[in-house]
Amino acid sequence: MSLTPGEMLFYGGIAGMAVVVVAAVIVIAVLAGSRRRLRRKLNEEYGGNLK
């Protein structure tokens, strides 16, 4: 089964989008964890209720 160049671009684009979505989920998870740690540290050092 041989794919035409158009099919390769189509399926390659779908695969590329899937990779980007997975990377975005990982980045969001890491940044959310960093945000929690930063807020906790700022509250310890400066007090207050940061939102």
Q: What is the pLDDT of residue 47?
A: 83
Q: What is the pLDDT of residue 46?
A: 87
Q: In the chain, what are the domain boundaries?
A: 20-46
Distant-in-sequence, close-in-space partners of 42: CB < 8 Å, separation ≥ 6: 50
Number of H helices, E strands in the chain: 1, 0
Q: Quick check: pTM over 0.75?
A: no
What's the average model confidence in pLDDT over 21-47? 94
pLDDT at 41 > cutoff 70: yes
